[in-house]
A = this chain, B = another copy of it.
Amino acid sequence: MKSKTASSGISRRALVSTIAALPVLSGTLFSTSASAQTATAGDPLPSWNDGASKQSIVNFVNAVTRAGSPDFVPVPERIATFDNDGTLWTEHPMYVQLVFALDRVKALAPQHPEWKDKQPFKAVLEGDMKTLADSGEHGLLELMMATHAGMTSDEFSKIVTDWFATARDQRFKRPYTELVYQPMLELLAYLRANGFKTFIVSGGGIEFMRPWSERVYGIPPEQVVGSSIKTRFEMRQGRPELFRLPEVNFIDDKAGKPVGINEFIGRRPIAAFGNSDGDLEMLQWTTMSGGVRLGLIVHHTDAEREYAYDRDTSFGRLDKALDAAAINKWTVVDMKKDWKVIFPSER
């Protein structure tokens, strides 16, 4: 199974994003309640500049929530799915989960003297990112398994939590959970205030996100869909344990996103939010179903306040999905123009 998995057509994008899924649990500026505070009186989206993007969101919500309207959608069917990396928080210059994996290799190196001479670990320990990138899919998979498997689920959750408590983004000098997008927090709260159930549907690791998704986004663990490795239940010394195995279970990216949505949620969303080609199929599945639907893409256009990238990036690439947006009338958010602030700290 392992060799099958490693040799199958898992894209590097997916692997990198899978490698990259753990949580930040340190104290931050925003909490679950904070993310809801903007959804009450007045403008529910104060960090959004007036314009076509903001208007398309408000129009959609009004249409599906107006009783008696032909576009009305009952509350239980108001499902909204959000990609995470690049849609709800910063993914550049490297997926947060990949930063975590590299840090874990360094932390575990003393127990693995053989890594000094073994790629891709050698490259990580020497900070040789070029060689690491050249190790390709197989190298990244090895890195992921060495750092994400071989412990219980509870142990992994604690490792993730502890890491987020001290890890800081190099450019912004902040915990990663503070590098979430304030306008998207407002959007999450606005949708929930209108009866929507909000889900994360991310290529990132499901157990990397769950320890902090509720605190940061107001999204509880059971509403997080993501990539996963297999686990095995075992009674050990009279205690039930779930062990994380070095074997891919599910890659929740590209065509895997509708599959994951159907398996975990069992309903078709009426709104979906992404930022890259990895979200194309989720946006198609959501919006091409008849009825008034909302597809939205966060276009990273602000190199000064965050980053600017689309068709030419090696990951988080926005190319096919940008073309599809024009055809399907999806909202394309121009980060620079549409967002008054990027991060909660700017408020």
Q: Which residues of A contact B (CB under 8 A)?
A: 76, 79, 153, 197, 206-207, 210, 214, 220-224, 228, 231-235, 238-240, 242, 249, 255-259, 262-267, 281, 284-285, 288-289
Q: Do B233 and A258 have beta carbons less than 8 Å apart?
A: yes
Q: Do B240 and A281 have beta carbons less than 8 Å apart?
A: yes
Interfacial chain B residues near A210, Cβ < 8 Å: 266
Identify 19 residue pairs between A and B in the complex whose beta-carbon atoms are under 8 Å apart, listed by A's number.
A76-B220, A153-B262, A207-B266, A210-B266, A221-B265, A222-B223, A222-B265, A231-B263, A232-B255, A232-B259, A233-B257, A233-B258, A233-B281, A234-B255, A239-B288, A240-B258, A240-B288, A242-B258, A242-B262
Q: Do B231 and A284 have beta carbons less than 8 Å apart?
A: no
- Told that A222-B222, A234-B255, A242-B262 touch, could you supply 8 new A-B pairs with CB distance under 8 A? A207-B266, A222-B266, A231-B262, A233-B285, A240-B281, A240-B288, A242-B285, A264-B264
Q: Do A242 and B222 have beta carbons less than 8 Å apart?
A: no
Q: Do A285 and B240 have beta carbons less than 8 Å apart?
A: yes
Q: Do A264 and B232 have beta carbons less than 8 Å apart?
A: no
A14 to B281, CA, bound (A): 32
CB distance from A74 to the nearest CB of B (A): 11
Q: Which 4 A-B pairs have the closest CB atoms?
A: A221-B266, A233-B255, A233-B258, A240-B284
Of A197, A221, A228, A263, most buried by chain B (CB within 10 Å of CB) is A263
Q: A197-B222, A221-B266 are in contact. Are A233 and B214 (CB under 8 A)?
A: no
A289 to B242, CA, bound (A): 12
Interfacial chain B residues near A222, Cβ < 8 Å: 79, 197, 222-223, 264-267
Of B221, B242, B257, B284, the contact of A259 (CB 8 Å cutoff)? B242
Q: Do B259 and A231 have beta carbons less than 8 Å apart?
A: yes
A265 to B288, CA, bound (A): 28
Q: Do A228 and B263 have beta carbons less than 8 Å apart?
A: yes
A287 to B264, CA, bound (A): 25
Query: Nearest B residue to A207 by beta-carbon distance?
Result: B266
Interfacial chain B residues near A234, Cβ < 8 Å: 255
Q: Do B232 and A267 have beta carbons less than 8 Å apart?
A: no
Of A210, A238, A266, most buried by chain B (CB within 10 Å of CB) is A266
CB distance from A250 to the nearest CB of B (A): 8
CB distance from A40 to the nearest CB of B (A): 22
CB distance from A9 to the nearest CB of B (A): 13
Query: Nearest B residue to A157 by beta-carbon distance?
Result: B266
Q: Do A221 and B258 have beta carbons less than 8 Å apart?
A: no
Interfacial chain B residues near A197, Cβ < 8 Å: 222
Interfacial chain B residues near A79, Cβ < 8 Å: 222
Query: Nearest B residue to A220 by beta-carbon distance?
Result: B76
Interfacial chain B residues near A214, Cβ < 8 Å: 76
A262 to B267, CA, bound (A): 20
A210 to B234, CA, bound (A): 29
Interfacial chain B residues near A264, Cβ < 8 Å: 222, 264
Query: Nearest B residue to A210 by beta-carbon distance?
Result: B266
Interfacial chain B residues near A242, Cβ < 8 Å: 258-259, 262, 285
CB distance from A199 to the nearest CB of B (A): 8
CB distance from A13 to the nearest CB of B (A): 16
A267 to B79, CA, bound (A): 21
A258 to B214, CA, bound (A): 22
CB distance from A22 to the nearest CB of B (A): 14
